[in-house]
Structure 1
Amino acid sequence: MSSEQTLIGIPVSVLDLSPILAGGTPSDSFQNTVDLAQQAERWGYRRYWLAEHHNMPAIASSATSVLIGHVAEHTSTIRVGSGGIMLPNHAPLVIAEQFGTLETLFPGRIDLGLGRAPGTDQRTAYALRRHHKQDAQDFPEQLEELRSYFDPSRTSESMKVRAYPGEGLDVPIWLLGSSGFSAELAAREGLPFAFASHFSPNNTLPALEVYRNYFEPSDILEKPYAMVGVNIIAADTDEEAQWLATSLQQQFLNLIRNRLGPLQPPVESMEGRWTEYEKVALQQQLGGSIIGSPETVKDKLKKFLEETKADELIVASQIFDHKARLHSYEILSEIMNA
């Protein structure tokens, strides 16, 4: 077994929201995250990314940079990064210093994925930023400022603020998106692009087309490199996988209803729990999910890859039971090695 396995010829990575479970605590979530990261490393996944969300009682990865360091400390070879840091919530200098510190502590293992959404509601965004002047429309300027802290040649000699640590370090920057905006920006800047197909499946192919059509080669990439996020819930049988998937469905249903809470255990059926309108709305967001037995997952993945032509997959698996979550990723690793 090689140190970096692939699924049907492409690398596969993990997207972890460090879910807080009903009846559990953030401490439990962090233990589960470390355990999953260690197993993912052993199974040959390429990256382990954590996502920034705030004011969400089901997600423990709000202090994303801190948790990245914790995971990197408890693993050895897997790349660890952000999927992503929501840059409008932060001063670019702070992110440069944080990820400069992480790269210094764990050289060659840190990724910096950046998003332009707040990752939360407007009230919480104000609590983070203290004003409304900075928003997603400023993202290109914020990105340029951030990149200049790592590479001062991108700015004028008169720039007096510098990032220590950070300056001169090679921290790979990815742009994340769920629409065409970041796809076009990533293309124009010659950066790798990660698309959130796991909650925006209908925009996947248009955004990837924009990225590939407008891509301009850079010192970083000669050709486009697209990583696509996908929900995968694998189990020994289709029936068990569908049952496990009701935790994810309940979570999104609660988001629609603005009734936030921890990740709930699976239920026998969602019928009677959602209205027809809500069912359709969830299908719009979760319709790209791959749920089933090893055979079903493999077949659906092949079709997904044929459609997206993804260079890499990053897999989210919001499963309530930690052992079942581990088993889902283990099944994927077995498909990877097939």
Structure 2
Amino acid sequence: MSIPLSVLDLAPVSAGSTPQQALRNTVELAQRAEEWGYHRFWLAEHHFAAVASSSSTTLIGLVAAATSRIRVGSGAVQAGHHTAASVVEAFGTIDALYPGRLDLGLGRSGHRRAKFGPSGAGGTAGSTTGGAAGDEVRVRDGVVIPPPFDFGSLAGKERYLAQDRALYQPGAEPVAFTEYVDQVRALLDGTYRTPEGVELHAVPGERARVQLWLFGTSAGESAQLAGRLGLPFAVAYHTVPATALDAVDAYRAAFRPSVELAEPYVVVSADVVVAEDDETARHLASTYGHWVHSIRAEGGAKPVLDPATAPPLSPEQHRVVRDRLLTQFVGSPSTVVERLEALRRATGADELLITSVTHDHKARLASHRLLAEAWGLREAAAA
């Protein structure tokens, strides 16, 4: 039987549309994803961009209310922008009304950085002069591994600094990520103590039936910490494909059995556009590069352009987004399934996390439906 598929959504705003409509689209996608047999529906947190998932925890509650079975969660909470207590209390509140369906994913995004670069899960820093650090593209067991993107000469640095200032309380400094995860775990299991030994209890939140996840993009701290703690791990191949497979290897190497897991559990993300035939899918996906370029080189995601009217990428723009275009999964159901199967084999993924960005919401719905049918999600659920 094929492994489960899940959905990661950002509530992208399309050119000519509104954030309000993007949120309605996300709720509808979650309802259809549940109907089509997807296992989870996760929301990504992004700020000051043309995506409507900035208050992702609020949106998680709305999606949970609009669905009945599918697991709902964060992919991921940007840990640097929230205290551990605020996150546990928020998820505890949703779990109190929709118990046993929540996934609490934590990413290192939002922690202050000594230099600009990818900000953990779903990093948004970029450069107009950056690009692939070399031209070599490797293929591992059928999976494209592009060279790392070079964020060395960030344009619009002032904008990123302004965003940081707007998201942090004056003088606030996020705790180290490992300590942050420890705080979340202690608040959830009722063992939290301040450095002075004072007991604190999250109400609601303590004993909430949420599943804790860590997100990562490389073989660094997040992958190793998830392994040492015996937590499930989500790897963002769709944003940082150059190091995603290294992250999987590091997680497995560090894994120690825990109360949560006896064996490693890995989810790997992929950016996907499926249509009835390859040509149509390529047309629908043709403005994805423009969208990624706006993230990397223009200070944040801009509205998704209409492929019927958008100009082609310039050679310089294409260079900035080349790694993401090479690793997008675009085509007919059979074409995409074949490539996703290669990703599953290369990573040993226990689950694949599908994200899709198109201008036309109906096309995005159709993409997820066609993939679910080709993957056999309903048949697997019925078995």
TM over 0.5: yes
Relative to structure 1, the CA distance from residue 73 to residue 251 in structure 2 (aligned partners, 3 Å threshold; closer, same or farther) is: same
Report whether the alignment pairs 1:250 with 2:243: no
Query: How far is the alpha carbon of 1:267 from its aligned partner?
Result: 4.6
SS in 1 for 2:242: helix
Matches within 5 A, 1:38-117: 38-56=31-49, 58-117=50-109
Relative to structure 1, the CA distance from residue 259 to residue 215 in structure 2 (aligned partners, 3 Å threshold; closer, same or farther) is: closer
Q: Return the letter of the residue paired with 1:150.
A: L
Alignment partner of 1:190 out of 226, 230, 234 = 230
SS in 1 for 2:95: helix
Could you report, residue by residue, the CA deviation over 1:158-208 in whole angstroms, capped at 9, with x for unpaired residues?
Answer: 333220001122211100111222111101111100011001111111110
Matches within 5 A, 1:109-128: 109-118=101-110, 121-128=160-167
Q: In structure 2, what is the Cα distance between the partners aligned to 1:278 and 1:264? A: 15
SS in 2 for 1:111: strand
Alignment partner of 1:318 out of 348, 354, 357 = 357
Query: How far is the alpha carbon of 1:123 from its aligned partner?
Result: 2.3
Query: How far is the alpha carbon of 1:253 from its aligned partner?
Result: 1.5
Q: In structure 1, what is the Cα distance between the partners aligned to 2:276 and 2:309? A: 17
SS in 1 for 2:208: coil
Normalised by the length of structure 2, the TM-score is 0.81
Match of 1:308 in 2: 347
Matches within 5 A, 1:282-293: 282-293=321-332
Q: In structure 2, what is the Cα distance between the partners aligned to 1:15 and 1:213? A: 26
Query: How far is the alpha carbon of 1:125 from its aligned partner?
Result: 2.3
Report whether the alignment pairs 1:14 with 2:54: no
Greater displacement, 120-129 / 39-48: 120-129
Match of 2:251 in 1: 211
Q: How many residues were matched structurally?
A: 327
Q: In structure 1, what is the Cα distance between the partners aligned to 2:339 and 2:169? A: 45
Q: Report the RMSD for the aligned CA atoms in angstroms.
A: 1.9
Query: How far is the alpha carbon of 1:130 from its aligned partner?
Result: 2.2
Match of 1:265 in 2: 306
Q: Return the letter of the residue paired with 1:179.
A: S
Q: In structure 2, what is the Cα distance between the partners aligned to 1:109 and 1:23? A: 34
Match of 1:24 in 2: 17
Q: Is the 8 A contact 2:234 2:266 kept in 1?
A: yes
Q: In structure 2, what is the Cα distance between the partners aligned to 1:187 and 1:103? A: 26
Match of 2:144 in 1: none
Q: In structure 2, what is the Cα distance between the partners aligned to 1:133 and 1:75? A: 37
Q: Is the 8 A contact 2:75 2:106 kept in 1?
A: yes
Q: Return the letter of the residue paired with 2:197.
A: S
Query: How far is the alpha carbon of 1:269 from its aligned partner?
Result: 7.9
Greater displacement, 59-68 / 121-130: 121-130
Normalised by the length of structure 1, the TM-score is 0.91
Relative to structure 1, the CA distance from residue 210 to residue 159 in structure 2 (aligned partners, 3 Å threshold; closer, same or farther) is: same
Q: In structure 1, what is the Cα distance between the partners aligned to 2:311 and 2:369? A: 27
SS in 1 for 2:182: helix
Q: In structure 1, what is the Cα distance between the partners aligned to 2:66 and 2:354? A: 21
Which blocks of at least 5 consecutive residues in structure 2 are unaligned?
111-122, 125-159
Q: Return the letter of the residue paired with 1:109.
A: R
SS in 1 for 2:4: strand
Q: Is the 8 A contact 1:21 1:264 kept in 2?
A: yes
Q: Return the letter of the residue paired with 1:95.
A: V
Q: Is the 8 A contact 2:72 2:103 kept in 1?
A: yes
Match of 1:334 in 2: 373
Q: In structure 2, what is the Cα distance between the partners aligned to 1:256 and 1:31? A: 27
Query: How far is the alpha carbon of 1:291 from its aligned partner?
Result: 0.4
Match of 2:131 in 1: none
Match of 2:180 in 1: 142
SS in 1 for 2:344: helix
Greater displacement, 122-131 / 238-247: 122-131
Q: Return the letter of the residue paired with 1:177.
A: G
Q: Return the letter of the residue paired with 2:200.
A: V
SS in 2 for 1:184: helix
Q: Is the 8 A contact 1:243 1:269 kept in 2?
A: no
Relative to structure 1, the CA distance from residue 176 to residue 33 in structure 2 (aligned partners, 3 Å threshold; closer, same or farther) is: same
Q: Return the letter of the residue paired with 2:52.
A: A
Which blocks of at least 5 consecutive residues in structure 1 are unaligned?
1-7
